[in-house]
Structure 1
Amino acid sequence: MRSVESIGALRVGQSVEQVQNELVNSVVVENISASKESIILSLSDQVRKYMNQHIAIDSESVRFMSDNVMDASIGRGQQIRSIVNVQQINNVRYINKYLIKVNKALPDAGIYVGCVESTSNRKRNLFKRKTQFLCHLIWLFNFIIHRVWPKVPSLRKLYFFITKGKYRWLTIAEVLGRVVSCGFEIIEFKEIEGKVYFVIMKTSEVFSIKQPSYAPVFAMQRVGKHGKMIKVYKIRTMHPYSEYLQDYVIRLNGYNAQGKPANDFRLTRWGQFFRKYWFDELPQIINVLKGNMNIVGVRPLSQTRFNELPEDVQKKRILFKPGCIPPYVALNMPDNEQNIEAERIYMNEKHRSPILTDFRYFFKALYNILSGRISSS
């Protein structure tokens, strides 16, 4: 390490302030190196191996952190390409602000590795140690305190005042949705030793913090008549920030037989129940009253899904309003390919006889739903 005496050895053209800055940077770099080595040694072989699959953890361009404070020393005195934080993100009070600071500290295509103890991890750990009845009581209490309370606007400040933002209950879907909303792309996530480690890459700058809706009823952007985007209302069946993961989930797992994202980890348990019996579609009555949807009609699709349809279906679709009850329900054709064919059949019939077609399809769909022959997902 340089001594303070080196300040007196000014090179030509250097001021005292410049030499002082060099000394500070040198001290910071040496302290970071020592800290980094101790952090790496504290990691298990499995975690180190996982990280090395994505970054060279011994490289000088990788900065390790053992806390959740993004201070001014990040990036000082060295060229940072990657940041690794071994502390779980559950203890960050302002997660989005923290992620935006990480975003600013990284160059384009820079890598960040973090971890979270998800709610499912905590539940498994809880149920390992206690009797089932007691576990359910403790789980319910903690769910209300740590999951419901902070989502209520009038109580949120009090919750964070008491907890200081630590020990937060976070689902994997919420964490991954947050990182995407803060300008990152998900490379991979994996559960290791009771924590979920995630590797993300900076893809864009972020200048504002996006706030999700926690309301039980929310609006989604969908393609309506004449190709106009409309807000379609549904009961929330997914975790917060799930809307940012639509493309990622499709890229990861593709579509299921019903033409919806397969193996969708964004769904809550009660969301799966609601979807099975179509309860999540009930708020679309608002759309019917507003006049941008019908009771029966082609399914309202996202722009991404709409663009994947055959061109002839796209052209016909925008001639009709979308509906609460899609044609495949009435025709019992839930398979993805059959779904498209069901819409072709419906649109041809509706073109010839609009009112009678909707009337027939409504009662056919009602029978299929009540008899359990078909479900929403």
Structure 2
Amino acid sequence: MKEILIKEAGSDSFEYISKYIDVDNVDTLVVSTSSAFNIDKQYQESFKNIVNLKPINDIRRINKFFESVNAKLEDGGVFICNVETYTLRKQRILKKYPKGINWGMYTFDFFVKRVSPKVWGLKKVYFFTTAGRNRVLSKAETLGRIYSCGFKVVNETRINGRLWVVVKKIKEPSFDTDPTYGPLISLKRHGKNGKLIKVYKARTMHAYSEYLQEYVYEQNDLQEGGKFKNDFRITTVGKIFRKTWLDELPMILNLLKRDLKLVGVRPLSQQYMSLYPEDFQELRKNYRPGLVPPFYADLPKDLEEIIASEKRYLEAFDKHPIRTDWVYFWKAFNNIVFKKARSN
């Protein structure tokens, strides 16, 4: 098996894989395939470890493939895979072609392999002509898909132009039938009475990024203002949208649906809500969240100050609801317009 792995993936990749699993173990499955069929039809009922040497870029139905791997792995089993992320792909193309040509080749490749699969009308043409092979994938989308299918990242490293990822099975797949893939996304957030609501926003992150909140928090913690540090999930266009508030415009739909009010505590994801004290989590459920949170009035610097800011707002709101929202709105307006306040 060692010789085969070295021939297919290289000695560096073999050494990396061997750090986490015994490749000669009878409960280890090593394949090089883009088809879930080759996972599903294994005679052995389950495995402790599965390694796929074929890059994820060549798998057409990525989540279905990961779901098949999940089904064949024991609980706590290890899956090792690799991908050429679009960052690594960019480096390869720019290095491959001479200056003056390389950027044109990269732009063409990005449009054909990254943009067209997401554009209505071009998507079917793309998959018909390529069968889904050699797709451009971001690191965020790759890891997000992995997490959505019931895995947790143990380690990752770059080897010979590929990102190798070691993951562990921790639960069953989410089987998400409505992933956030288009330009307008809906995110599950906690609303009044603990009800999960869909908050609409313009996309600023790579697809499947919503599954990576715990991962990003574990890797980078929070920065000043309560946002995740070095959040690689945000796209280049997304950074512009956030600075100009364009990503918030679709939330007007939530105002019309009365899921949100104009001023109120921020609608939080499950992962972010879990960072709050349990008693305050319960208290927050009594209130409808808002489009303009007290954050922009008080400009807290860390999570502790954010919680204190929200407590002050809710205490004031209980006594004088209309006056409190009026005061907080204009404080926030002043900080946003004149002091250029941003949540990050």
TM-score of the superposed pair, with normalisation by structure 1: 0.82
- For the residue of structure 1 that corresponds to 2:166, the secondary structure is strand
Is 1:365 the equivalent of 2:332?
A: yes
Measure how far apart 1:372 and its partner are.
Answer: 4.5
Shift of 1:218: 1.4
How far apart, in 2, do the equivalents of 1:241 and 1:125 lie? Answer: 25
Q: For residue 18 of structure 2, what is the aligned residue in structure 1?
A: 52
Mapped pair 1:97 → 2:97 = no
SS of structure 2 residue aligned to 1:110: strand
- d(CA) in 1 for partners of 2:44, 2:185: 46
Q: What residue ranges of structure 1 are gaps of 5+ in the alignment?
A: 1-32
| Cα RMSD after superposing both structures | 2.6
Structure-2 residue corresponding to 1:159 = 126
- 1:176 equivalent in alignment to 2:143: yes
- Which residue, 251, 256, 265 being the options, matches 1:284? 251
Worse overlay, 189-198 or 259-268: 259-268
Letter in 2 for 1:323: G
Equivalenced residues, count: 343
CA 307–206 in structure 1, closer or farther in 2 if over 3 Å, else same: closer
Q: Report the CA distance shift for 1:331/1:48 in structure 2 as closer, same or farther (over 3 A).
A: same
Q: Does 1:67 align with 2:33?
A: yes
Tell me if structure 2 keeps the 8 A contact 1:332–1:373: no
Equivalent in the alignment of 2:117: 150
Secondary structure of 1:109 counterpart: strand
Task: Classify 1:79/1:374 alpha carbon distance in 2 versus 1 (closer, same or farther; 3 Å).
Answer: closer
Q: CA deviation at 1:270?
A: 1.4
**Mapped pair 1:252 → 2:219:** yes
Taking structure 2 as the reference length, the TM-score comes to 0.89
Q: In structure 2, do the counterparts of structure 1 residues 46 and 74 end up closer, same or farther at CA, with 3 Å as the change threshold? A: farther
Question: 1:216 and 2:187 equivalent?
Answer: no
Question: What secondary structure is seen at the aligned counterpart in 2 of 1:71?
Answer: helix
Match of 2:5 among 26, 39, 53: 39
Structure 1 counterpart of 2:4, which letter? S
Distance 1:142-1:265 versus aligned 2 partners, 3 A rule: same
What letter is aligned with 1:99? F
In structure 2, C-alpha distance between the alignment counterparts of 1:66 and 1:172, rounded to whole Å? 21
What is the SS of the residue equivalent to 1:107? strand
5+ residue gaps, structure 2, are none
Change (3 A) 1:264 1:115: same
SS in 2 for 1:51: helix
Question: 1:115 Cα deviation (Å)?
Answer: 0.4
Partner Cα distance (1:210, 1:181) in 2: 11
Distance 1:130 1:223, change over 3 A: same
Q: For residues 77 and 149 of structure 1, what CA distance do their matches in structure 2 show?
A: 39
Measured against aligned partners, the alpha-carbon deviations of 1:268-293 in whole angstroms (never above 9, x if no partner) come to 11112222333222211111111121
Residue 43 (structure 1) shift: 3.9
> Does the 8 A contact of 2:28 with 2:49 survive in 1?
yes
Give the aligned residue type for 1:368: N
8 A Cα contact 2:46 2:72, kept in partner: no
After TM superposition, the structure 1 = structure 2 runs for residues 1-377 of structure 1, keeping only pairs within 5 Å, are 37-69=3-35, 70-71=37-38, 75-76=42-43, 80-130=47-97, 134-206=101-173, 208=175, 210-377=177-344
Could you give the per-residue CA deviations for residues 126-164 of structure 1, whole angstroms, max 9, x where no partner exists?
A: 223446654443333222221221112433221111112
Shift of 1:329: 0.9
- Further displaced range: 161-170 or 367-376: 367-376
What SS is found at the alignment partner of 2:30? strand
- How far, CA to CA, are the matches of 1:324 and 1:271 in structure 2? 19
User: How far off is 1:61 after superposition?
Assistant: 3.0
Deviation at 1:105, TM superposition (A): 2.8
Counterpart amino acid of residue 175 in structure 1? T
